[in-house]
Amino acid sequence: MKVLIVFDDVTCFSQLESIIGSLDCLTPVSRIIITTRNKQVLRNWGVSKIYEMEALEYHHALELFSRHAFKQNHPEVGYEKFSSKVMKYAQGVPLALKVLGCFLYEREKEVWESAINKLQRILHPSILEVLKISYDSLDDKEKNIFLDVACFFKGEDVNLVMKFHNASGFYPEIGISVLVDKSLIAIDSYNKIRMHDLLQELGREIVRQESINPGNRSRLWHHEDIYEVLTYNTGTEKIEGICLDMSKVKEFHLNPSTFTKMPKLRFLKFYSSSFNGENKCKMSYLQDPGFAEVKYLHWHGYPLKSLPSNLSAEKLVLLEVPDNDIEQLWDCVKHYSKLNQIIHTACHKLIAKIPNPTLMARLNKLVILNLRGSKSLKSLPSGIFNLEFLTKLDLSGCSKLKRLPEISSGNISWLFLRGIAIEELPSSIERLRRLGYLDLSDCKRLKSLPSSLYKLKSLGVLSLCGCSNLQRLPECLGQLSSPIILNLAKTNIERIPESIIQVFVSGNLLLSYGESFQSLPKPPFLERGCIALEPFLGIVEDTQRIPHTDHMLAARWQEIRENRGFSMGKFHNVLPGNEIPKWFKFQSVGSFITLEMPPDFFHNSRVQGIAFSAVLAFSHCHVDCGRWFSFSFQLKMKTTKDCGPHGTQLFHSRVNYIESDHLHLGYYQFCEEDFNRFWKCNCIPEVVQFNIFPSLECKCCGVKKCGIHLIRFLNSTNSIEDPSTCFNYDEED
């Protein structure tokens, strides 16, 4: 017998266990559908295919909302803007669309505006009631993790969140796994924690309901509540976390006893989202005790000369105090064996004294050390490079730092030395075997590079831009075995050694150079054995001088075909440049292209994929904007059947912040699922759109130009055009 059985809203395996035996009589063509809020229930029953419900697309969401708010399929005239705000708030969740539509039905515009503003701070009770079911099923430690994410950690790196909650005793390995299984959070491809806005509001509403008095709540994130608590010193032992955007409040003075009233404080973040952010929190001193339980401390413009004396608990995992007046760092952190990051930027009065080996050993868990802009820093601890877990060291702008200590070992991958006062690197730098990125830009006193540099087998980027005293390169660079990007712009180097020229000709070197540079030979196109460059991001500044970009991209595509197979269906690359390659048939200034295609486009055009290109332009980026952006490429289509507007995101990637225009090129091959969807609605390409989304609300990156090129079947044998051939054109045309 062929049957369809649906088990709806299953909460635990025991609900299914008793009926498993009675299903043995079902035929193989029968189907069982289980809906649940907990993915682990499906795993326990051995479900072979698990599908996650997706949010409604915009036009479907608007239609559903309109049916309840206007009793028709579209908004009434004059309500379009309000409806758009509701769409942004609901983000495609049917429950929210229905509830809000019914709530706003036949109400005046003034009521709509008031209701939408209220929703920004208070979740609608009907939505809260349903969403809270999943929260109520969590244990106490899982609830704490959920509330911390909702109030403080949305968009943060999951590893940092893990360390924080481990230090808090919340067992995050299992806790975060449970939150993911119950779809309360998600971990994206960049290892960041994502949470739907409605679930974030759920968490924050739960905290708000703890007390009408903000000082009696466990977590504070709204600037008005925090300003009230700190200004009037109404904090209590209930407070576990504070996150204040100081750009949203006026200057206030902190009572020295403020934090003594918060013995359970685990998280403290005072930051500024404005470009010219400043510390609005003024104080003359802090009373002890306080800060004993703090695991995460970020304080922009920390006003005192030393950190709190009892901030020595080994639970601290992050210390970030940019633009501060601290005079000595090392003694402040001498007990922090669990400290993961010290980000101590623009500390103009910092004087680093060389600590004894015991103190350095206590920093053995340190992963990131950022001392950027510490203009009084004159020396570094002798063992700084030897820290086992230190992978990123930023000393940019430490203009009085004249020498680096000798290096006996180390695992540093990223070393930023821009603008420091060194004349030479220690030859022992060869011991940094994992060093992949070395930035020596604007080191005006740098006269030479050590001959041991070629032993850095992992080196992929070497920037010497602005090293005006540097006149020659060592022959040893020609012995580098891996592909490398070398930036020589604004140096006084006129020629490079023959060995390095051979690296350039082979395709292993991407070179940026200044006006004093002599000409270089043209690299052969797709020479046998050519190793194409991996897609390095954010390295070269003088980008208009980089030759033969298309040849390098062709080699990159060839490598992908040979080593990974054409079936992967997509690739992308980022290289310095500010022009769309000539062979792109459709080009436009800006971020979108309007297309005119025949009605039977996908049926008869033999198109199999799209090559896309965009010039990303970067302006000055403040540190609060983050250092990366989300880049996506979308194809929007009109339909001749009643399917509504249709669009599909063909590509999504992360783009690092860089100080010059870069060319982003890629290819997407349509799959069978794409064609089935296109044919079903008889889709016709109408617009291609490139989007940039900053990691925070900041507008220092945009799409300057864009282009696409259609990839087709070549002949009746259905062999697909090799996209690498598109790169092979005569540059003199």
Tokens of 160: 């940092």
Residue 528: predicted pLDDT: 28
Last residue of a domain, one of 176, 205, 234: 205
Residue 244: inside a domain, yes or no?
A: no
Determine what percent of the chain is predicted with pLDDT higher than 90.
22
Asked if residue 99 and residue 116 are part of one domain, the reply reads yes
Inform me whether the pLDDT recorded for 308 exceeds 90.
Answer: no
Asked if residue 32 and residue 70 are part of one domain, the reply reads no
Residue 556: predicted pLDDT: 46
Write the CATH number for 175.
Answer: 1.10.10
Inform me whether the pLDDT recorded for 727 exceeds 60.
Answer: no
Interval 403-417 mean pLDDT: 89
Interval 318-323 mean pLDDT: 78
Residue 443: predicted pLDDT: 94
Asked if residue 701 and residue 615 are part of one domain, the reply reads yes
Asked if residue 563 and residue 680 are part of one domain, the reply reads yes
String of b and e for 58-87 (b: at least 16 CB within 10 Å)? bbebbbbbbebbbeeeebeeebeebbeebb
d(CA 448, CA 115): 66
Inform me whether the pLDDT recorded for 295 exceeds 70.
Answer: yes
d(CA 224, CA 633): 39
Last residue of a domain, one of 144, 175, 205: 205
Tokens of 228: 């009230």
Of 60-74, 395-409, 477-491, the poorest mean pLDDT is in 477-491
d(CA 472, CA 142): 59
Interval 431-440 mean pLDDT: 89
Tokens of 53: 């419900």
Tokens of 722: 């090799």
Parent domain of 69:
58-120
Tokens of 334: 């001498």
| 3 state DSSP class of 35 | strand
pLDDT confidence of 590, banded at 50, 70, 90?
Answer: confident
Interval 705-726 mean pLDDT: 58
Residue 22: predicted pLDDT: 64
State how beta strands 252-253 and 267-271 pair: unpaired
| 3 state DSSP class of 732 | coil
Contact assessment for residue 304 and residue 331, using Cβ atoms and an 8 Å cutoff: no
d(CA 188, CA 194): 7
Residue 187: inside a domain, yes or no?
A: yes
Residue 534: predicted pLDDT: 29
d(CA 354, CA 362): 14
Residue 247: inside a domain, yes or no?
A: no
d(CA 605, CA 296): 57
Residues 619-654: tens digit of each pLDDT: 554 433 444 556 777 887 776 555 544 556 566 665
**Mean of per-residue pLDDT scores for the chain:** 76
Contact assessment for residue 268 and residue 297, using Cβ atoms and an 8 Å cutoff: yes
Interval 313-318 mean pLDDT: 69
Residue type, 623: V
Interval 325-337 mean pLDDT: 61
Q: Which of 280, 273, 346, 336 is CA-nearest to residue 308?
A: 336
Which of residues 515 and 607 earns the better pLDDT score?
607
Q: In what order do the strands lie in the sheet with 683-694?
A: 592-594, 683-694, 628-639, 646-656
Asked if residue 116 and residue 131 are part of one domain, the reply reads no
Cα 568–572–578 angle (5° rounding)? Answer: 160
Interval 85-110 mean pLDDT: 89
Write the CATH number for 507.
Answer: 3.80.10.10
d(CA 402, CA 224): 46
Inform me whether the pLDDT recorded for 335 exceeds 70.
Answer: no
Which of residues 347 and 706 earns the better pLDDT score?
706
Residue 600: predicted pLDDT: 64
Asked if residue 582 and residue 438 are part of one domain, the reply reads no
Structural domain count, the chain: 5
Residue 114: predicted pLDDT: 92
Residue 421: predicted pLDDT: 94
Asked if residue 662 and residue 557 are part of one domain, the reply reads yes
CA dihedral 314, 320, 326, 332 (to 10 degrees): 10
Residue 191: predicted pLDDT: 83
d(CA 564, CA 488): 33
Residue 487: inside a domain, yes or no?
A: yes
d(CA 710, CA 607): 6
Asked if residue 432 and residue 572 are part of one domain, the reply reads no
Residue 664: predicted pLDDT: 79
Tokens of 356: 């004894």
Asked if residue 137 and residue 115 are part of one domain, the reply reads no
Residues 45-56: tens digit of each pLDDT: 778 788 888 888
Write the CATH number for 627.
Answer: 2.60.120
Residue 523: predicted pLDDT: 42
Residue 392: predicted pLDDT: 84
d(CA 547, CA 522): 8
- Give, for 700, the enclosing helix (H) or strand (E): none
In degrees and rounded to multiples of 5, residue 692 shows phi and psi of: -125, 125
pLDDT confidence of 32, banded at 50, 70, 90?
Answer: confident
Asked if residue 111 and residue 90 are part of one domain, the reply reads yes
Residues 56-83: tens digit of each pLDDT: 888 888 999 999 999 999 999 889 889 9
Q: How many residues does the chain have?
A: 733
Interval 584-603 mean pLDDT: 78
d(CA 315, CA 675): 54
Structure-token match 């501060």, residue found: 324
Residues 205-256: tens digit of each pLDDT: 999 999 999 999 999 999 999 999 999 999 999 999 999 999 899 999 999 9
Which of residues 268 and 385 earns the better pLDDT score?
268
Asked if residue 673 and residue 622 are part of one domain, the reply reads yes
Question: Residue 484: beta bridge partners?
Answer: 509
Inform me whether the pLDDT recorded for 340 exceeds 90.
Answer: no
Residue 399: inside a domain, yes or no?
A: no
Residue 283: inside a domain, yes or no?
A: no
Contact assessment for residue 216 and residue 261, using Cβ atoms and an 8 Å cutoff: no
Residue 332: inside a domain, yes or no?
A: no
pLDDT confidence of 320, banded at 50, 70, 90?
Answer: confident
Of 98-107, 222-231, 342-351, 715-724, the poorest mean pLDDT is in 715-724
* Highest mean pLDDT out of 275-279, 476-480, 547-551, 699-703: 476-480
Residue 602: predicted pLDDT: 65
Residue 356, Cβ neighbours under 10 Å: how many?
11
Peptide bond into 289 cis (omega under 30): yes
Residue 680, Cβ neighbours under 10 Å: how many?
12
Tokens of 375: 């203009």
Asked if residue 64 and residue 162 are part of one domain, the reply reads no
Residues 548-564: tens digit of each pLDDT: 344 444 444 444 444 43
d(CA 701, CA 723): 28
pLDDT confidence of 566, banded at 50, 70, 90?
Answer: very low
CA dihedral 409, 414, 419, 420 (to 10 degrees): -20
Inform me whether the pLDDT recorded for 23 exceeds 70.
Answer: no
Last residue of a domain, one of 96, 120, 144: 120
Residue 699: inside a domain, yes or no?
A: yes
